[in-house]
Structures are given as C-alpha cells and as structure tokens.
Amino acid sequence: MQPECADVARSELHSRYAEKLVVNSDLDRTLVSFQANKELPFYSWFKYKEGFAKPFVDYCINSFGDQGELLDPFAGSGAALFVAAERGMSATGIELLPSATFSIEARMAALEVDPEKFRRYADRVLKADFESMHDESTAIRHVKITEKAYSEETERDLSGYLYYVRNKLGPKAIKTLLEFAAFSVLEEISFTRKDGQYLRWDQRAGKSEKTKFDKGEILSFRKAVEQKLSDMKNDLLNLTRDGNQKFLVDTKTKAGEIELIQGTCLHKLRRLPSDRTDLVITSPPYCNRLDYTRTYCLELTFLGCSESKIKMLRQTMLSCTVENKSKVGVLRRYYRDKGDLESFELAKAAFESQEGFHEVWSYLDSLIGLKKPNGKKMLPNENVPRMIWNDFFEMNLVIQQLARVLKPGGRVVMVNDNVQYAGEELPVDLILSDYAEAHGLEIETIWVLPRGKGNASQQMGKHGRTEIRKCVYVWKKSEV
C-alpha cells in the first residue's frame, strides 16, 4: 500500500508566509528568463536559456536602487553583472561552468575592443579558406555524448577557423570575441538540439536507426559564423560608449567594474568579506534534475573539457541532478579548515529544523523500492530523495553566506521554481525563505508570477495537470 504524505508542516509554513505571497502583474515567465533577451543587442549573442532577461534586472535595480555593489553567486552568462555595470554599479559574479564563464569573459572583452577594429578583423577572418587551415591542434576533442555532433566538413571548417583566429591574429580581446562567435553557433551547426537535460539527435547524425527527429536546416559553419559576426559587428558599432569603451545606458553614466570569480559559490562565497554587498540578484539551478554539463556539452568540449573534467564539474556544481553525491563531509571540512565550523553547524541546525522540507523528503524517501500495481516504480528515479536533500542543504549554506556578505539594508532577489515529485509539491519559495529568516533576513515579499509553471510531463500523466508557483523572493538585511 502506498504511504501518504502529511501536509501539516507545509500548511503551517504557508499560513506563516501567506501575506508575503503577492502576485506581481509586472512579471511574467518571459521577463525572468532568456526569452526577453532574444532581440537585445549584446545580450542575445549566446542563447543561455537559463539566464536572466535584461529588463528583469533593470526592474529589480529600479525597485531597490542602483548604488553600490551587486553580487550574483550563480552568474550564468552574466546578464545581472552587465546590466548593473551599465547602471554604474560595481558587480561581482561567481560561476563554475566554463561555458558560462567564457560567455562572460567574451562580453567583458567586448567592453575593450574598438568596434571598427573588430569589424576589420572579422571581415579579414571571413576571407580565409577554413577547410585548408584545418589542424589537429584545434580539432574538437569529443566526449562520448558529443561524438558525431557535426559533419566532417563542419568539423574541418571549425578547426580551420579556430587555427586562423588563434595563430594569425594579435589582439587578445578580438581573438576572444572571434572565438566566441564560433562558440555561440555550435548548436546551429550540429546534428543536435538542446532538449531539457539532454541533446536531442537529428536522424542525419546516424546515431540510431530508431531516431526520426529532424531539426530542420542545419547551417554550414561559414554561414552560421558569418551571421553571428554580422550581428556582433552591428551591435558593437551601434551601442553608446564613452572613452573607455564601456557600455552605457546614457552618456552621463560612468560604467561600473565587473569582477568574475571562477568556481563554486559553495566555496567562493565564504571567502568574500562580510557586509560588502548592496544587492544580490540571482537564480540558482532549480531542483529539477537538469544537468547543465549535458545541456552545454557541445560548448564544454569546444573549450577543451575532457570526460573527467565534465564529471568533476557535475559533482562540484550545486546538487540538482540525480547523479550528485553528498558534499556535506567536504563542506564541513572546508568550513573547519577556514576556522568557521560554528557557521557550518548553525546552518546545519537551520536545515534540520525546517519541518516543511523534511515532511516531503521523508515521504519521497519512503517510496524508494516501492512499485505501483502495474510494476512501475513510484519515483521517476530512486536517487531523487538524495538529490533533494543535497540541494536544500547546499542552498541553506548559500543563503547563510548571502546574509553575511550583505550590507545592512541590503537585499537578496532570487528567482526560483517550486518543484513536484510523486505528486507532492515542494514549496521551495517558502522553505528557502524560512532558511533566510533563520539566518537573520527579513522576508520582505515573495512575488508570485501571475502564471505558474505546469508540472513535468511524467508528473502530469500520473497526477494530472497542476500549476506550480514560480516566484521571485525579496529578502532584506536589517539596517540595525
């Protein structure tokens, strides 16, 4: 007989924060995702689907002030950093994945280049015969998941282009931008399409006789990179700049500086000074089994990541996949070695006392090994309870550190989705807000998007269609 999930702690949690849940008609799913960046100069160069929309960051800065420093501990492709810099704020981003950090580095390079000079170099590169310059030193070193991603002609053209850029040109910032142009078109020139946490393979790849998917036109490398460079040239030539080649909102604003810290925020946040940040705008990986190392594996192999490096990245990032092992022991040793074991134990106590989380987690854990009458397992994957436990434990530590680095009066603005497994919703918004309160932050508001997110297809088939809240949390540090 299937056990039932209690709803006592979750109901109490909802009652406690009910007045903080406010529908914000200014927001929609497009505004808090990459979708609103599609036509924007500079922000549309690389399709980072999990990224912020520029208008959303503008909305937050307009709401909470454009003075001081912004921090994004899950920087992604850097939209929050660049918008803040445009607005005159200094900005710090922490990011683990090389695919995301390269995107940020390329956009930082765009702040340095002379647009006319970039145009001349781009035109010069496009006159080259890429295929004749193919060289093994610049060939893509595939991992198992990316084998046969490109046609042989595309592989040779891509290799020749990279060889020319890396060996025949001088200015570093221009080289970076030219490489970024190739990096940004990998999906367009491949036999793949990003689909959830996997790559969906076109039948023309010949990976399997069962594959019937046709992604439509697959661009040649030359056509794709010509289009990308054309967009980049036009954007650089048209954007307003000052004498230091900074992107600006208007000519009276002095652009802020951007600092990029490479690594996991589970470690790097601990190294930042206390009371330094005025505004945090961020969106952590959702607890939805999405594996960014698979989603962006074409980009990771382009950057030279090996199979072992990708596996290391998967285990190092915030736990959001069923393959993540527990980091509790590693994190405890890290805090101990930093002489701050007390902070770790306080965070651990806050995690263990959050009854709403453990109510759902205990239920999901009890489903391990159970099957339905039709013989199918109760859980989509029996590592889901472990993933959820790790994810929330780690997010609790992140929130503790955000509370520490915030200045008095500073705010955290966090975008996240609630999730559902085995028909039970985890109120991520309320649980994380409770952690924030335990670490001394005031729950100012929880903006609810007018339209939520439908549950996953496998959940819908088993439990019917239910709408899950998508929220933006606003937490404030006391000014006292």
**pLDDT value at residue 242:** 45
Local confidence band at 460 (pLDDT 50, 70, 90 cut-offs): very low
d(CA 333, CA 92) in angstroms, rounded, equals 26
The CA–CA distances, whole Å, from 62 to 66, 279, 297, 393 equal 7, 12, 36, 32
**pLDDT value at residue 253:** 54
Local confidence band at 232 (pLDDT 50, 70, 90 cut-offs): very high
Task: Kindly report, residue by residue over 336-377, the tens digit of the pLDDT.
Answer: 999 999 999 999 999 999 999 999 999 999 999 998 888 888
Task: Kindly report, residue by residue over 152-165, the tens digit of the pLDDT.
Answer: 999 999 999 999 99
The CA–CA distances, whole Å, from 415 to 67, 264, 350, 457, 473 equal 21, 19, 21, 22, 7
d(CA 330, CA 344) in angstroms, rounded, equals 11
- Tokens matching residue 259: 């600092």
> What residues does each domain of the chain span?
115-238
d(CA 294, CA 290) in angstroms, rounded, equals 9
**Within 10 A of 160 (CB to CB), how many other CB atoms are there?**
21
Q: Which of 31-35, 94-98, 131-135 has the highest mean pLDDT?
A: 94-98
**pLDDT exceeds cutoff 60 at 319:** yes
d(CA 420, CA 404) in angstroms, rounded, equals 31
Type of residue found at 295: T
Task: Kindly report, residue by residue over 60-106, the tens digit of the pLDDT.
Answer: 999 998 889 999 999 999 999 999 999 999 999 999 999 999 999 99
- The arithmetic mean of pLDDT across residues 144-159, rounded, is 96
Task: Kindly report, residue by residue over 115-127, the tens digit of the pLDDT.
Answer: 999 999 999 999 9
